[in-house]
Structure 1
Amino acid sequence: MDREKVRSEKKALDRYSCDAHYHFLHDIGSDFFPELLKADMLFYNAGELFKTSLASKWCPSIDSSYDKATRMCESVTKKAFRHEDFEEYKDIEDVH
């Protein structure tokens, strides 16, 4: 891992740990995206594409500049794909 990436990740983690306002916004965002994405998949599977939100467009993706600055992708993923919600994850240990 290059030094710039490590520095960026440390900065994001430090801000999350030390800034209550940032921590609150990060948690709200990482709670909000999984809910919208799950609802969008229900609409998609029902053929109701006009009801989908823009969550998939704006949700951070792995190694995007937004994710590098916020480290939100991992939080969203863990909340969207919880072990207890998927049978195929039952034998995988959660490493939190």
Structure 2
Amino acid sequence: MNRTFMTNNEWAVGFMKELDSMLNGIESMNEKSKASFGNERFLTDKEVSAWLKVSRRTLQDYRNNGMVSYYQLGSKILYKESDIEKLVMGGYRNAYRLET
């Protein structure tokens, strides 16, 4: 009986590894299929707010204050990934207190 349990357990471990491998493949395909135009990825409000860890309302404030460029197609707002990277890098500050 113990051997049957081991066989089933090994099968379950193998099955879980296969599922993980399939999930990784699906996630990889999903990343490659993101909306792009001219080799530029476009992100939605939801994606940008999750990436920056800010609310969608804060993103609206950034747009209203001219802090970030965006595209509006009807009620849909899209951001170039490179514009969001510029926004983040624009906030970079060098360390002023360095250890010697």
* TM-score of the two chains, using structure 1 as the length reference: 0.28
Structure number with the higher strand fraction is: 2
Structure number with the higher helix fraction is: 1
Q: Which has the higher contact order (CA 8 A, sep 6+)?
A: 1
* TM-score of the two chains, using structure 2 as the length reference: 0.28
